[in-house]
Amino acid sequence: MKIIHRILKFIQKESISSDQLDQTIGVGQEVLKSEVAKDGSVSTDILEQICARYPELNPIWLITGKGEMLIDDYHEVGKAIENVESQEGIYNVIAGKDIEIQLLKEHIEGLNELIRVKNKLIDEYKNA
């Protein structure tokens, strides 16, 4: 499950709409709705805003899907945030992985084009 899907799960639990969440965290209108529609992702800025506005939301669950969605004890919230920060900037790691995934997709497309060209040459030699 992607982070955007966990955000949706959270807002359903809170009985708020994605527009209300957008407004609460101070992002443009329909930002989350747009990302959901394209099965996209959210920026680290949005993740930080969500975690700041909803301290009961477990940031580890939000990012990784591990653990419980909500943290009952606010001391545990502080510990969870410390864990995130101590994991060598997990937000930066996520952003780096998004870039890496995009580069790999482009590389795969280049390889597919190379395969198409080679198959075309093979067909031409067979028909010659």
0.75 surpassed by pTM: no
Q: Which domain holds residue 3?
A: 1-87
Q: Which DSSP symbol is given to 79?
A: H
pLDDT score recorded for residue 25:
85
Report residue 103 CA to chain centroid gap.
17
Q: What mean pLDDT is reported for the chain?
A: 81
* 76 and 112 within one domain: no
48 closest CA partner among 16, 25, 67, 80: 25
pLDDT surpassing 90 at residue 118: yes
Q: Are residues 49 and 60 in the same domain?
A: yes
For residues 83 and 99, state if they share a domain: no
Q: Are residues 81 and 94 in the same domain?
A: no
What's the structural domain count of the chain? 2
